[in-house]
Amino acid sequence: MNGKNLEMQRLGIRRTLLFMLMVMGLVASACTVPPQNPDGSVPQTPPMGLNGLAESTTHPGTVWAADYFGHQLLRIDPSTGEIHQRFGGLCDTDDVVQLDDGTLVATCAGAGGVIKVLPDGRSELLANVGLDVNPIVLEPGGESVIVGFGTEADDRLLRVPLDGSPVQVVATGLPVLNGFGFGPDGLLYAPTGGAASILTGTGGIIAIDVQTGAFHQLPLNFTDGDRSGFNFPSGVEVAPDGTIFVVQSTPAGLFAIDPVTFDVTAVADVPMQFLDNLVLLADGRIVVSGFLGNTIGVLSRNTTGDWDVSAVGVGS
């Protein structure tokens, strides 16, 4: 495949995704779901897609999910798919974290902002940072969030203080980023390559020092054949032992990276399309989200040490 044809295919992917976002966003804006039914119950209307994930700090074992197309945040029981809370009428929420007091902080890719949603549902703009802001993570210490961008047009990593202080530039010159997480070593681990790596299989992982802005590519060793990278890695989480878990968007899969040897092994195939993100729960389960539809994947270890995978529908 020559360079011109490859670039045309990359542009085609981007245009297709942008068209999908525009259409789904228009649909979502016309069908905002209220946070409660008249009887006080939570509506179980399924989300249009699920993106960033975070375990609830106030209700451990449940998961907050950002629904980009539905402009809402949902708290989900991953065992049953039941929606326990929902805050709608927001921006195009792409990724989310929850603070200890229950406040949610989310990125708004199309609006270019970072918002706070208080426990009572009131929302406020925390900072305008730029279009295509995507991944978010709470910085150790809990006084700020770190956000990045999912586009070639913005190569920054930013620190957004939760008290409304000025936004700080942590690093520049970064590749396209997606869902990221801190490791026990204090480094921020992020997937790179973006949607273009669907075609090239050159998606990778970088480690970023948020104190200095220095970053480096991990020297990944793939154990399955001749591949040298991921096909659109879209989310990273790091376990307490340093194992780096990576979701690959398509073909959908979950991988583990050894933090010493950087050997990459397949953990499980996931029966979903276009994986978007993941969260490691305190009870050992892994939950993965999909860019389209209302299904989450839930992985749990069985007695042999392997992973059982189940697809759970969210809402009804």
**Distance set, CA 53 to CA 8, 79, 225, 280 (Å):** 32, 15, 31, 9
Say what the pLDDT of residue 23 is.
45
CB proximity list for 277: less than 8 A, separation 6 or greater: 51, 52, 53, 95, 178, 179, 234, 235, 247, 288, 289
- C-alpha to C-alpha distance for 167 and 35, rounded to whole angstroms: 31
Those residues of the chain that have pLDDT short of 70 are 1-31
Say what the pLDDT of residue 11 is.
44
Say what the pLDDT of residue 32 is.
76
Q: What is the identity of the amino acid at 267? A: V
- Global pTM value: 0.90
The predicted-structure confidence for 244-257, as pLDDT tens digits, reads as follows: 999 999 999 999 99
How far the first Cα of the chain sits from its last, in Å, is 45
Beta bridge partners of 181: 189
- C-alpha to C-alpha distance for 63 and 259, rounded to whole angstroms: 26
- Which among 184, 109, 193, 188 has a CA at the least distance from the CA of 145? 188
Say what the pLDDT of residue 12 is.
45
**Distance set, CA 34 to CA 87, 98, 111, 194 (Å):** 8, 21, 22, 34
The predicted-structure confidence for 179-189, as pLDDT tens digits, reads as follows: 999 999 999 99
Say what the pLDDT of residue 26 is.
42
Q: What is the identity of the amino acid at 212? A: T
Across the beta sheet with 113-117, what order do the strands follow?
93-98, 104-108, 113-117, 123-128
Say what the pLDDT of residue 31 is.
55
The predicted-structure confidence for 264-314, as pLDDT tens digits, reads as follows: 999 988 989 899 999 999 999 999 999 999 999 999 999 998 999 999 999
